[in-house]
Chains A and B, each alone.
Chain A
Amino acid sequence: MRNGRFRLKPLPCVGLCVLLVLLVLGATSCGGVREGYINTDRARNIHMIVKMNQGDYWNTVRLGAEAAAQEFNVNLTFKAPDAESEIDRQITMVEDSIAQKADVIILAASSYMGLAQVVDQAAYSRIPVISVDAEVGSARVSTYVGSNGYEAGQKSAQRLIELLDGHGEIGILNFTKSSAGSSLSGGAIDYGARDAEEREEGFLNYAARYPNVEVVQISYTSSSVADAERLTREMLAAHPQLRGIATLNETASQGAGKVIQSLSAHSVKMVAFDSSPTMMEMLQDGTVQATVIQNPFSNGYLAVKYALELTEGLDVPERVDTGTKLIDLGNMLWPENQKLLFPFVR
């Protein structure tokens, strides 16, 4: 009786609480946070370090990454050494990104083993690392976005051997075995880029099925067209019987294509790698019979997208294969291939 004044309070209080709970429930259900939706309210710092800062291929990767950055509100820092062979420079760049506390590092490693250590270091600093295009020898990499190099090499070999009717000498122009050709190839540490190795392996394994086909030389260019041209000339000079050339990246393809075009050596068949407007012209005028293309735009875009999903704590696939395709004169103007070959409308 003494606290009669308070004895009525519980009921209105309970009512108030129920009302408030209802209100909160209503508000949240109206807000509607979707599951798996990437939150773009906060800008993330994502660092992308690729093999080099020139060439159509990397440019396209960058554009893909930038498209994703724009879409998902990402501060994209794009870094690349001048040449694919500058492994130390690339390591320094990764170290810088670690120091700058990037949210995610996207790396196209110029060297499978050379960058392994610095990737481990990034993982130690709790920065996730995504591999794009070329894998790196670290178990700490979150995901790999790129094409299957082995398969691409096989496609290239298959088409070249078809073109040669199954016999003849073949030269291969590959890239970044080491900075100075093959001087370090015998060493205990393999400093080559993973994608280059995979493509070569795929090619050689396929070619090995044909006893009449002989791979007479494998040259490794650094990352300049001029170097590729020089190597091609040397190769043609060294092997006059050479019937086919397979090039395994864009610069090598452009160099070799130029040499063949200038020599008008139509007896030499060539299967190139990657697409660029010049390569398309060579394809159309018959200098190059086919090219294996990847999806650089998708690689760049998806790498950034998955990087973002990592920061959101979402599950990302361990390996994303963006596919390869063999393009020749016959199918280059198919609508779907047009879109792949020339993704830039403007």
Chain B
Amino acid sequence: MRERKYRFFPLRPQHTPGGRRRRSNKLRSIQLIITVSFTAVTVLVAVIVSFMLYNKFARTAEENANINMQQIIEQVNYNLELYVTGMSRIFATAEGQITGSASIDSPLLSERMDTLMSSREDLVSVSVFTPEGDYVVGTPGLVLQQNTQLENQSWFTSASKSAEIAYSAPHVQNLFKGNYPWVVSISKMISYQEQGQTHQGILLLDFNFRTIDELSRQVKLGKRGYAYILDSLGNIVYHPQQQLIYAGLKYENVEPVLEYAYRSYIDTSTGDKRLITVRTLAETGWKIVGVAYYDEIVTTKRDLNQFLFWFLGVVISLVIAVSVLLSWLIASPIRRLERTVKQVGEGDLHTPIQVSGAYEVEQLSLRFNMMLQRIRQLMDQIIYEQETKRKGELEVLQSQINPHFLYNTLNSVIRLAERGKTDDVITMIQSLSKFFRISLSRGKNFITVQEELDHIRHYLVIQSFRFRGKFRFEIKAQEEVLQYQTIKLILQPIVENALYHGIEMSPDEGFISIAASLQSGSIVITVADNGLGMSPETLGSLLKGGVRTGGGSGVGVRNVNERIGLFYGREYGLSFASELEEGTTVTIVFPAVPAEIPAESGEEDTSS
């Protein structure tokens, strides 16, 4: 296949075989380049922007959550501080009343204690004990239990040891009958009056957890976060899941909390990442511990994360879709063009190119189309011209050895010989011989005007024997015209025409006048006769090949015109002027090109 094409289209670039080259071509295609680069750039930008946004937002969210939590814990801390201050103030009031009372067992003091008790819901009991642990006085209505072992309780021991006000760890108060409340005890060594004597005693105030509970319960740190309170020894004062912790079902990692008074850190001991914030109450040494679950604090972060992932996903798919579409839009007309051009390249010049798309591509296809059209036109022309030329040459070749003409002429010669007109025979044969010599002229296409005129003269001489007395002729030529070159055998068909159609049928004696002259760079040869002339219709169809010179040399007038047109251009050729009953004048115009005289004349000399 390729071989064949190669032979037909030697100039067409040949494919170099091999898949590797093809793949690299594929990788270099416009669509891929656009798609990949567009996608890559957009995705890269989107990812970088998302990443930066994420970092920025996440950090801010985390900081905000942290600050928020710290503020909440601070608030609780502040409230608790107020509460503890309140407790110590109540303690001071009680102390003042007891110390100031004349006697510890006075009804007035009892009444005052009652008032104090009823003023606060979270106050469980007030009582005074001797340093030996004996009960002195207490909240009216409460009955002391047996076997209280109060000497071992922390509030008692710490009050005996120092004169400072002491806050106990949370514990179950077993002093009074009726119930076993969980309390925080505040105790201090005080002095009181009894029967006129000053005694030392320990004042005990028990507070339940109601207020602490209320203060701490409000703390909401996310969905699962909470706050709890530790005393200075690590006992849990308050915890939202206190029962679970007391029952040993939950643990709180308090060791790192106890080490610091003021701190925020991340704890991972329970498996969850938790943000712990610690604040310490100055008076009691209690620690408020806020626990927030990291994954909840950073919900924003996770939401953001999710959002960004979706966003990125959508953007990237969109970008890919758009870039594929875009690149397809750009590349497909080009590819179609390329395919068409390829078909053209493979030899199909009739492939129509109708590519729409971008302006440039459209223009390209338009131009290409025009170019193709021109090529087609030119090719058609070349084919036509070649054909015509071949045909013309063939016809010329035929006319060179026109057997009919030869036969007629030889017949005339025979007749002359029979009649014994030896001179005429000699003239005739001579003319015939010269006629053929010029006709053949060794296969050349071009001869000098001189030779052409000689040729037609010989022809007319021969013909004048045949049409005896029927016509006369004259050949006039300017001297300078003679050495220009001309296509050979252009006059014979015209003269033949004039003889056979103009003069032969005419009753009068005919006259053929041939004149050659040089007019502004062109050679003009006119062939005029005084024969029948032609009608305008015949005249019009003459050059279109409608009329053949029947019985003539077979080389038509049209052939002459074509040959001149082909060799010299369409502006040259024949023109006719004719009038019925008056005659016809044929004018031949072609450019004056000097002939290569020396070679030709030299050859002629040697052969004659």
Contacts and interface: CB of A to CB of B under 8 A. Distances in A.
- The answer to whether A binds B is yes
Q: Which 5 A-B pairs have the closest CB atoms?
A: A339-B246, A345-B182, A338-B172, A343-B243, A298-B247
B251 interface: no
Interface in A1-15: 1, 4-5, 7-9, 11-12, 15
Contacts of B146: 284-286
A346 B35 CA distance: 70
Contact of A298 (B29, B148, B210, B249): B249
B309 A342 contact: no
Contacts of A64: 243, 247
Nearest to A281: B177
Interface string A118-162: 000000000000000000000000000000000000000000000
A23 B313 CA distance: 7
Interface string B205-229: 0000110010000000000000000
Contacts of B317: 16, 19-20
B561 interface: no
B316 A19 contact: yes
Contact of A281 (B145, B149, B170): B145
B374 interface: no
27 contacts: A4-B339, A5-B328, A8-B29, A8-B31, A12-B323, A19-B43, A19-B313, A23-B309, A64-B247, A67-B243, A280-B174, A281-B145, A281-B177, A285-B145, A295-B247, A302-B249, A335-B171, A338-B172, A339-B245, A340-B246, A341-B172, A342-B172, A344-B182, A345-B170, A345-B209, A345-B238, A346-B209
Contact of A20 (B169, B313, B324): B313
Contacts of A9: 324
A277 B181 CA distance: 10
Contacts of A20: 313, 317
A16 B39 CA distance: 10
B147 A329 contact: yes
A65 to B, nearest CB: 12
B464 interface: no
B26 interface: yes
A30 interface: yes
Nearest to B179: A277
Contacts of B249: 298, 301-302
A298 B248 contact: yes
A343 B246 contact: yes
B145 A342 contact: no
Contacts of B177: 281
| Secondary structure class of chain B's binding surface, majority of residues | helix
A67 B241 contact: yes
Contacts of A285: 145-147
Interface string A275-306: 00100110011100000000101100110000
A294 B36 CA distance: 72
B235 A335 contact: yes
Given A329-B147, A333-B174, A343 B180 contact: no
B48 interface: no
Contact of B149 (A26, A333, A339, A342): A333
Contacts of A345: 170, 182, 209, 213, 238, 242-243, 246
B409 interface: no
Contacts of A99: none
A63 interface: yes
Contacts of A11: 32, 35-36
B243 A12 contact: no
A297 B26 contact: no
A339 to B, nearest CB: 4
B548 interface: no
B312 interface: yes
A27 interface: yes
A35 B332 CA distance: 53
A242 B533 CA distance: 175
Given A1-B339, A27-B309, A345-B242, A297 B247 contact: yes
Contacts of B235: 335
Given A30-B306, A297-B243, A297-B247, A15 B39 contact: yes
A112 B306 CA distance: 54
Contacts of B26: 7-8
Interface in B251-294: 271
B407 to A, nearest CB: 65
B434 interface: no
A16 B302 CA distance: 24
Contacts of A280: 174, 180
Interface in B311-332: 312-313, 316-317, 320, 323-324, 328, 332
B335 A342 contact: no
B32 A343 contact: no
A295 B243 CA distance: 11
Given A4-B339, A277-B179, A333-B149, A12 B246 contact: no
A301 B306 contact: no
A341 to B, nearest CB: 7
B20 to A, nearest CB: 16
A123 B153 CA distance: 52
B483 interface: no
Given A26-B309, A27-B306, A301-B249, A277 B180 contact: yes
Given A9-B324, A340-B247, A342-B172, 16 more contacts: A5-B328, A5-B335, A8-B35, A12-B36, A12-B320, A23-B313, A30-B302, A30-B305, A285-B147, A286-B147, A298-B249, A302-B249, A342-B180, A344-B182, A345-B170, A346-B213
Contacts of B375: none
A284 B244 contact: no
A272 B39 CA distance: 80
A338 B179 CA distance: 13
Interface string B339-357: 1000000000000000000
A177 to B, nearest CB: 31
A298 to B, nearest CB: 5
Given A280-B180, A339-B246, A23 B324 contact: no
Contacts of B339: 1, 4
B80 to A, nearest CB: 16
Contacts of A7: 26
A16 B247 CA distance: 55
A342 B180 CA distance: 8
B177 to A, nearest CB: 7
Contacts of A16: 316-317, 320
Nearest to B242: A345
Contacts of A63: 243
A15 B320 contact: yes
A26 B174 CA distance: 59
A74 B215 CA distance: 27
Residue in A9, A11, A27, A333 whose Cβ sees the most chain B Cβ within 10 Å: A333
Contacts of A335: 169, 171, 235
Interface string A50-70: 000000000000011001000
A32 B293 CA distance: 14
A67 B243 CA distance: 9
Interface in A316-342: 329, 332-333, 335, 338-342
A11 B37 CA distance: 13
Contacts of A339: 245-247
Given A7-B26, A333-B172, A342-B182, A301 B244 contact: yes
Interface string B556-580: 0000000000000000000000000
Nearest to B331: A8
Interface in B102-155: 145-149, 152-153
A298 B26 CA distance: 72
Contacts of A71: 241
A1 B339 CA distance: 9
Residue in B309, B335, B339 whose Cβ sees the most chain A Cβ within 10 Å: B309
A16 B319 CA distance: 10
Contact of A343 (B247, B306, B320): B247
Contacts of B182: 342, 344-346
A308 to B, nearest CB: 14
